[in-house]
Amino acid sequence: MVQLRKWRPLLKLDDDTRLASYRKIAEGLVSAILEGRLPPGTLLPGTREMAQLLDVNRKTVILAYEEAMTKGWLVSEPRRGTFVNVQLAPKPLPCPAQPSFAPLLLDQPVVPYFTHNAQVVALQHRHGALFFDNGTSDHRLLPQAVLHRYYRHALRNSFASNTVRYGSEGTGYQLRCALAEMLRNNRGLTVTADNICLTQGTQMSLYLSASLLIKPGDVVLVERLSYPPAWEIFRRLGAQVVTVDIDDEGCRTDQIDRLCREHTVRLIYLTPHHQFPTTVSLHVARRQHLLALAAQHDFCVIEEDYDHEYHFSGRPYLPLASDRAQRHVIYVGSLSKVLGSTFRCSYIVAPTQVIEALQRNAALMLGDADAVAQTMLADLINDGELKKHLRRVSKEYRARRTVLRDCLDQAFGERIQVREPEGGLALWVRFEDGMDVDRLVHTALDHGLVVRSGRQFSPDDQPQNALRLGFASLNRDELYQATQRLAQAMNAMGTR
Ligand SMILES: Cc1ncc(COP(=O)(O)O)c(C=O)c1O
């Protein structure tokens, strides 16, 4: 199908009045071919359409095409049309010159977490490649018919009411109300819509919160292994990132106490429900100790509760933010683990004064949000659809966790240690000492498997003999295949 609209800007016609029109068109076509704007094989519009488009007589276009054909630039194929000759060597479009501000770009640090090597990028497009992700949900299990219905309804209402305006936050308010009710009922947070700021993802929530709190030189604590986007943000804002150890009960609050005596600590970032990446839940006594330390040393806690919904052993822990006496916690959540990462919806929960400041900054960064998606999400929460979906997938994810454990046991036996986490969508798998996990991850690529090395979660870039293996986005057969590929990679390294 030839898109006519694109031809006007493509054909730059000479305005020399002495030149015959057909010659101008023929030369315009040749220049477009020479400059790479019309690659070999491009189908040209029919002569009648081109004549209409250029507002010339059809005969003029026929002459122009013939002129270009006799010189070999175009070829005509019976019943198919006129094409740019495929035998011409393709001409790359010239690169634009370097911008004058290029030196500034050199100062921008590379964030390894977001930088994939060529092999990973190639695998992302290869059919049959498998990914052990950080623990994301399976988009194939989303209730598509329900989502279609709710999206259609939101779209229809949005257009019919004609109330969406730049700068008006109508649908955001509905979603904040729905989230506030959900957080009051399920997570014990004493909040209303005024305590919630909506963002387009956890990273944006972390960036906004951190930029409100951190000044260059401030000390920020993160766990020895932690979510890379978080500490990359803190560093980008000029913070000095200091690490705290983690053990089987979560982060070592005794060390936080010591660090608070050595430094003025501004902020600590934690994922206490299911520690990222090690999956450990923070022990109750340590939760209390942490809140007491925050009050004593007056530091802020950013509590990221990225997968609160999936807790398989007993009742989930209530967030630190649910403690009514505390005044130091900013709580960050997301709908991504339930609805997948397609609908970008994260939320920050904090006292109203903080929320007002965050919203002002969010508006600067984002302007307006997607009103239709917001309405749909609010309706899904209010009508209990989110809960229904969660109940259904939780059973499946729990079963997948068992499948992965069994596959790992069969493939690696004593060579690995896996501690059963209380919840979340990933396992933290430790390999025997001496195992070169970085090499294993690299070798796995040759077997069509992508997995992040544990080292990527270390703010100090320390090698780890462990991997975080998300089990929810792979079905049972894929889990088996992925584990086999990991085992094959280990075999290929000669360590078996
Ligand atoms: C710890 C953690 N936080 C946040 C996210 C992403 O959340 P969002 O989709 O809201 O950006 C992930 C994704 O895997 C994660 O592992």
Q: Give residue 19's pLDDT.
A: 81
- How many other C-beta atoms are found inside a 10 Å radius of the C-beta of residue 59? 12
Residue 389 banded pLDDT, cuts 50, 70, 90? very high
pLDDT at residue 107 is higher than 80: no
Q: Regarding beta strands 300-304 and 329-334, do their DSSP bridges make them parallel or antiparallel, or are they unpaired?
A: parallel
Average pLDDT (131-147) is 96
Give, for ligand 1, the residue of 131, 136, 139, 202 to mutate: max count of ligand atoms closer than 8 Å to Cβ: 202
Please report the domains of the chain, with CATH numbers, ordered by start residue.
4-84 (1.10.10.10), 115-136+392-492 (3.90.1150.10), 144-383 (3.40.640.10)
User: What pLDDT sits at residue 419?
Assistant: 86
pLDDT of residue 3: 57
Give the confidence band of 1 by pLDDT, cuts at 50, 70, 90. very low
Out of 200, 226, 309, 336, mutate this one to test ligand 1's pocket (max ligand atoms within 8 Å of CB): namely: 336
Is 496's pLDDT higher than 50? no
Residue in this structure with the two tokens 């488009």, named with its chain if needed: 53
Best residue among 334, 343, 377, 427 to mutate for probing ligand 1's pocket (most ligand atoms within 8 Å of CB) is 334
Residue 105's CB is within 10 A of a number of other CB atoms, namely 9
Pocket of ligand 1 (CB under 6 A): 134, 136, 201-203, 227, 271, 276, 304, 306, 334, 336, 341, 346
In the chain, % helix, strand, coil (3-state, to 5) comes to 50, 15, 40
Q: pLDDT value at position 446?
A: 93
| pLDDT tens-digit series, residues 320-331 | 999 988 899 999
- Residue 169: its pLDDT value, please? 72
**For 190-204, what is each residue's pLDDT tens digit?**
999 999 999 999 999
3-state secondary structure of 430: strand
Asked if pLDDT for residue 124 goes beyond 70, the answer is: yes
The tokens for 399 are 């079963």
In this structure, the strands spanning 81-84 and 240-244 are unpaired
pLDDT at 450: 95
More confident residue, 167 or 237: 237
**Please, which contacts does 186-194 make with residues 24 or more away whose CB atoms are closer than 8 Å?**
187/305, 187/308, 187/316, 187/318, 187/319, 187/322, 188/318, 188/319, 188/322, 189/319, 189/321, 189/322, 189/331, 189/349, 190/322, 190/324, 191/349, 194/352, 194/355
Please say if the pLDDT value at position 103 is more than 80.
no
Beta bridge partners of 82: 76
Atom of ligand 1 nearest to the CA of 276: 1
Q: Please tell me the predicted confidence (pLDDT) of residue 183.
A: 97
